[in-house]
Amino acid sequence: GENVGLHLPTLSVQEGDNSIINCAYSNSASDYFIWYKQESGKGPQFIIDIRSNMDKRQGQRVTVLLNKTVKHLSLQIAATQPGDSAVYFCAESRGSSNTGKLIFGQGTTLQVKP
Amino acid sequence: DAEITQSPRHKITETGRQVTLACHQTWNHNNMFWYRQDLGHGLRLIHYSYGVQDTNKGEVSDGYSVSRSNTEDLPLTLESAASSQTSVYFCASSRGFGTDTQYFGPGTRLTVL
C-alpha cells in the first residue's frame, strides 16, 4: 500500500554533529515533499521543501535530498544544536491530483545531547 | 504579520457535549485543514476546505463537522463529544493553486471526560 514513513523513530546525536533523518515514500506520482519540525507543545513548522524535478535543496543549516529512483527523502541538519531537538515529519503531495492535501509520515524524534 | 490562530488552546469537556474549536488565518489562504494528532498515528486529516462554502471529509471525519462562511475561518465542531476524540487538534492553511505548503496553528488540546 501507499506509505510515507520514517526509518527510525528516535535519533540521538551529539551537539555539533550532523544529523540525517530519513523518509521513504511509495508513490512515484508524488512530486512535492516537505519537512516539518514540531517542538513540544507547538504546531508543525515548515522547514524546507523540494519538488520532484530537483535532487537537492539547501536552506540555512538544512539540506533535503531526494532520490526518486529508490523513493527516498532525507533531511540533513548541519552542526546540530540543542534547539534542533524536536519531532521531524516528512510529508508528500500527490501533485498530479492537485488536491492540496499532504500525506504525513509518523515522525522521527531528534534528541541532541550536550 | 499574517498568522494562523486557534482557540481555545486547552479544553476539557464531558461526553455528549457539543464542542467547537476555532481556527482563524490572516493569510487570505484558500485552503484550510483540520488534523488530529495522537501518539502512534501522526497527523490525520479530519476535514478540509478549498474555499468559502466548500467542505470535504478527510480520513477520520466521523463525529466532526466544519463550515466555511468566510476565507479566514474554519471552525471544527464535535457534535457529541466522545472520549475517543480526546486529542490534540491542529488547523492548517495553504495558498492553494499548486502551492501545497501548509502552515499550522499552535494546536488545541481537547480532553473529553
Record the cell numbers describing residue B112, joined without a space: 473529553
Distance separating alpha carbons of residues A62 and A67, to the nearest angstrom: 17
Task: Work out the average pLDDT over B91-110.
Answer: 87
Give the minimum alpha-carbon distance from B105 to chain A in angstroms, rounded to a whole number. Answer: 6
Query: Closest chain B residue to A102 measured between Cα atoms?
Result: B100
Query: Closest chain B residue to A93 measured between Cα atoms?
Result: B100
Q: Per residue in B4-45, pLDDT tens?
A: 999 999 999 999 999 999 999 999 999 999 999 987 678 999
Contacts of B33 in chain A (CB under 8 A): 101
pLDDT score, position B97? 63
Q: Per residue in A63-94, pLDDT tens?
A: 999 999 999 999 999 999 999 999 999 998 87
Distance separating alpha carbons of residues B33 and B10, to the nearest angstrom: 19
Q: Per residue in B36-83, pLDDT tens?
A: 998 767 899 999 999 999 999 999 999 999 999 999 999 999 999 999
Contact of A106 with chain B, judged by CB distance below 8 Å, is answered with: yes
SS3 for B73?
strand
Q: Per residue in A27-73, pLDDT tens?
A: 888 888 999 999 998 999 999 999 999 999 999 999 999 999 999 99
Give the minimum alpha-carbon distance from A18 to chain B in angstroms, rounded to a whole number. Answer: 25
pLDDT score, position A9? 82
Q: Which residues contact A60 (CB under 8 A, 6 or more apart)?
A: none
Q: Which residues contact A64 (CB under 8 A, 6 or more apart)?
A: A33, A35, A48, A49, A50, A56, A57, A73, A74, A75, A76
pLDDT score, position A97? 59
Give the minimum alpha-carbon distance from B76 to chain A in angstroms, rounded to a whole number. Answer: 17
Query: Closest chain A residue to B99 measured between Cα atoms?
Result: A100
Q: Is the pLDDT of residue B98 over 90?
A: no
Residue B31 has φ and ψ, to the nearest 5°, of: -95, 140
pLDDT score, position B66? 98
Contacts of B50 in chain A (CB under 8 A): 100
pLDDT score, position A3? 44
